Structure 1
Amino acid sequence: MFSRSALSRGAQLAARRQGCSQLAQRRAYAAAASSAPSALTYDTTEVAGVKVATRDSHGPTTKLAIVAKAGTRYQPVPGLTIGLEEFAFKNTEKRSALRLVREAELLGGRLLAYHTREALVIEASFLREDIPYFTELLAEVISETKYTTFEYHEEVERVLKVKQAKLANDVSALALDSVHSVAFHRGLGASLYPTSSTPLKNLNEHTIAAYASAAYTKPNIALIGDGATTTALHKWTEQFFKNVPASKPKNIEFYTKPTEYYGGETRISHTGGNSLVIAFPGSSFNAFKPEIAVLAALLGGQPNVKWSPGFTLLSKAAASNGVVASGTNLAYSDAGLLAIQITGAAESVHKAGAEAVKALKGIAEGTTSKEDLTKAIAKAKFDALEGSQSGVSTLLSAGSGIIHTGKPFQIAETVQSINGVTADKIKATAKSLIDGKASVAAVGDLNALPFAEELGLKV
């Protein structure tokens, strides 16, 4: 038998060995992290007149997306962007919608179409070896879709009405939409989905087809590949995208005025809940402000550790008032919104909103501790890096960067700039926001929800 002392010595030796192993692992992770930015960087070029960005994670699957400069900010009349989104993967000149879906399913692929305020995204996820088929499919969707009358009435119009009804009952989405409207007016202020009161008399299969002829042109799109080799994607792009139109028709005009921030206040009575959004000018793709990213992380909202309120200012306010709160920078090509959103019971939203503004004023006065700033910087870097690995967000940000600024939004540059944020920079940024004009949207019980002036904000 082994003595207890022998077992103890063995346990200590095992612990030391495990410690050495863990140290070696940490060094390996550190080395991997130091080289990670290169793995997160897109290689960009132009193939057959199309802007193409590629990065290869050497995994077994691939994501491929067409990002078109055709979001709601650019549509000349409401509904055109969502019309393109809903017509994606319907009947084309070569394939019926049924055949298209069956073929994608047989290959284990997943098809997706969605839009933002600036971009329309047509995306496919699939096994790595099937890149020829899905590259051809995406090219076919943007250049050979049939915009038929029966599909418009049976599919597009029906889905649009469903989404209108969903938006009308979602107080959080209504508040976020409304704050964009008061912040930017037209362009970025356009609703993500036409509201039920928006006239859609000019929306039909013909106007959607005309918008497609302008949106799906080589200068207006980018092809983004994540998990594909540069050689493979360039080869198939050359073959399948050569017939995509090189210019848009002269009779189709986009809304292209530069974004201007206005600020203001809007209040919407609603019986389905309560939501308050307080927003300020934020960071854009074209002019990234690392201080805004760190400030958003410092405001936070959702705790990172289960059963803990978290260190962020909004998470503490949310925990004490029983509401859901978040602080986020919404970045666009030439503007951004640092948005604080609070949802819950009206009285609790009022209290949490007051605490959020008080917290922001405290940051402007320099009350942020060194420890909290360190945590916020780390969280901002983590959020940026995690987002770059999630697939959807990185395809969108890379594509949006290319079609708006000529280059993808590179995560390595973002992380490096976040490292340079100091307490003085955070203080100065917060002060400039508080001293400037806010954008405030309140949706719900207006008798209890606060006015901007009651929160100490200028609008």
Structure 2
Amino acid sequence: MLPSVLPRRSPSTAASLTRAASLSINQLTPTLRVVSHDHGGYTSSISLVLKAGSRYESKAGVAAVLKNFAFKSNAHSSALATVREAEHIGATLSATLTREHLLLTAECLKGDEKTVLQLLTSALTARHLNHELHESTINTVALETLAANNLPSVHAFEEAHKLSFRSGLGSSLYASKDEPVGILDVRELWASALKREIGIVGTGLSQEKLENLVKHVLAEALDQDKLDGKAAEKGSEKTKVYFGGEKRIALDLHSLPEVEPTFVIAYPISSSPKPEHLILPYLLGTFTSSLKWSSSSPLKDAADIVGEGTKASAFVAPYSDAGLLVVEVTAEGSKRLSSAAGEVVKAMKALKVDAASLKRAVGQAKLEVAQKWETADGVREALASQVFGKDIPSCEDTLKSLDALTPQAVTKVLAELIKSKPSVVSVARLGQMAYADEVGL
């Protein structure tokens, strides 16, 4: 019997909590795509998705600088006024850079969507003033780059992209101290982004409300060609060539004690990753069984062979026309890392996909997908990454595609990846670190 102190839920509250979220998509014009996910909560968010990721930059670091220019002075207000207006209603503004997109996001309480969209719209009229570049933006960008280079996992991940694609998707999310970025470079990337298709992603509000806001508010900032439906400018977006190779980077011996040597293997995926690719990290993964007589995942078992402090994990880096299956290994010391890398490669080559292991992996993947779609950040990330695609799969679509996987299909995809030429990056004491061919690659 339930304690009498528990509050009883009213019928209306129960209905609102159990209402299914709705996903809606509409190509408002050939250059404006509107996507909404109405979860019936108390908060909303709106994101402008611009094709201004690092794959579109003409010089290293321009996209990183552009991200840090977000919400500074524009044609309508100063940076101070923009932040003050957002804080007045309790809203938050943020900018996120990926290899494909720059996201300008505002999160707010329901009812404040028009105000935050006006703030996002004003950001589209950014002036990109030279004094702002040198007084604040460049310093922030430099600190981000320094932090990334001092983290072997991040440094290796960026270098793996450069080895894999060289330009385009190979362009780093971080600036380079060797290639200074000028204000004209920033303005050029920004101008080209505004000529391309723009995505508007909303969470916590209906499609009808979002479209009405876009029609009335965005009209103040975008040129009439976009609103009249004229074609967007096509950028160079197709990844046509994969390269691969090996790069060895000396670990800074003066770095913090917790910094560990890292070994990264990146296998190429020649198209936007399919469910057969996305399930692989869960088959390889770091699953640890609670039963002492049951084996854990292949990567976890491989790491345990080397000893305590050794870790191995896998994930997929998905993009609109390519992807990477990334395996990351860390250890306490470069000699131990060499041994761990060899054990991981053996485990991957020996992996057998049967019905039982696939069922376990699918269960783990489905839970993670479902949990992601139950958070505003997760929904926004899922929708923004695919907003320009032909179709945007819902949570239900993704779960069904995972259920449809077979051991034979996954085995075929895994075999193709293992046979391909990977990109291999080690950040370690090079005198103690094995080469890729010495660990079985």
Residues in 2 aligned to 1:49 and 1:425: alpha-carbon distance in whole angstroms: 37
| Equivalent runs, 1:125-136 vs 2, <5 Å | 125-136=107-118
CA 1:169–1:395: 2 relative to 1, 3 Å? same
Question: Which residue of 1 is the match for residue 7 of structure 2?
Answer: none
What is the identity, as a one-letter code, of the residue corresponding to 1:371? A
Q: Structure 2 matches for 1:76-155, cutoff 5 A?
A: 76-142=58-124, 144-155=125-136
Gapped regions of structure 2 (runs ≥ 5): 3-13, 227-232
Q: Deviation at 1:330?
A: 0.6
The residue correspondences of 1:165-176 to structure 2 (distance < 5 A) are 165-176=146-157
For the Cα contact (< 8 Å) 2:62–2:186, is it kept in 1? yes
After TM superposition, the score normalised by the length of structure 1 is 0.82
Distance 2:132 2:109 in 1: 30
Out of 223, 239, 262, the residue aligned to residue 200 of structure 2 is 223
How many residue pairs were aligned? 410
Whether the 8 Å CA contact 2:65–2:175 is kept in 1: the answer is: no
8 Å contact from structure 2 (residues 162, 171) kept in 1: yes
User: Shift in Å at residue 432 of structure 1?
Assistant: 1.5
SS at match of 1:394: helix
Q: 1:347 aligns with which of 316, 327, 335?
A: 335
CA contact (8 A) 2:42 2:109 kept: yes
Once the two structures are TM-superposed, the CA of residue 349 in structure 1 deviates from its matched residue by 2.2
Residue 308 of structure 1, CA deviation: 13
Match of 2:440 in 1: 456
Offset of residue 412 of structure 1: 2.8
2:179 matched to 1:199? yes
2:23, 2:38 within 8 Å by CA — same for their partners in 1?
Answer: no
Counterpart Cα distance in 1 of 2:90 and 2:317: 33
- 1:360 to partner: Cα distance: 1.2
Native 8 Å contact 1:309 1:319 kept in 2:
no
Deviation at 1:401, TM superposition (A): 1.9
d(CA) in 2 for partners of 1:406, 1:137: 29
CA separation of 1:221 and 1:319: change in aligned 2, threshold 3 A: farther
Paired residue for 2:420, among 431, 436, 448? 436
Say whether residues 1:209 and 2:197 are aligned partners. Answer: no
* Aligned-residue offset at 1:205: 2.2
AA at the equivalent of 2:207:
T
Contact kept in structure 2, 1:265 and 1:452, CA below 8 Å: yes
Q: Highest CA radius of gyration, 1 or 2?
A: 1
Task: Give 5+ residue unaligned stretches, structure 1.
Answer: 1-13, 16-27
1:357 partner SS: helix
C-alpha distance in 2 between matches for 1:234 and 1:326? 41
1:360 to 331, 343, 348: 348
CA–CA distance in 1 between the matches of 2:75 and 2:123? 9
Match of 2:210 in 1: 233
Other-structure match for 2:405? 421
State the Cα distance separating 1:426 from its structure 2 match.
2.4
- Asked if 1 retains the 8 angstrom alpha-carbon contact of 2:44 and 2:109, the reply is yes
**8 Å CA contact retained: 2:266, 2:422:** yes
TM-superposed deviation, 1:310: 8.3
Mapped pair 1:410 → 2:390: no
The answer to whether the 8 Å contact 2:269/2:417 transfers is no
Of residues 332, 354, 360, the one that matches 1:375 is 360
* Aligned counterpart, 1:20: none
Equivalent in the alignment of 1:163:
144
- What amino acid sits opposite 1:362 in the alignment? A
Aligned pairs for 1:39-54 (under 5 A) are: 39=21, 41-46=23-28, 49-54=31-36
How far apart are 1:77 and its partner, in Å? 1.2
RMSD: 2.8
CA contact (8 A) 2:25 2:36 kept: yes
**8 A contact 1:42–1:408 mirrored in 2:** no
Which whole-Å deviations, capped at 9, do the CAs of 1:173-230 have from their partners, x for residues lacking one? Answer: 110011111111211111111233x312xx222331232121123x421000011111
Return the offset for 1:319: 4.3
Partner residue in 2 for 1:327: 314
* 1:390-441 deviation per Cα after TM superposition (whole angstroms, max 9, x unaligned): 33343233233233x3443433322212112122222222221222212111
Q: Percent of aligned positions with the same letter in both sequences?
A: 29
Of 311, 314, 320, which residue of structure 1 is paired with 2:299?
A: 314
Question: Is 1:337 matched with 2:315?
Answer: no
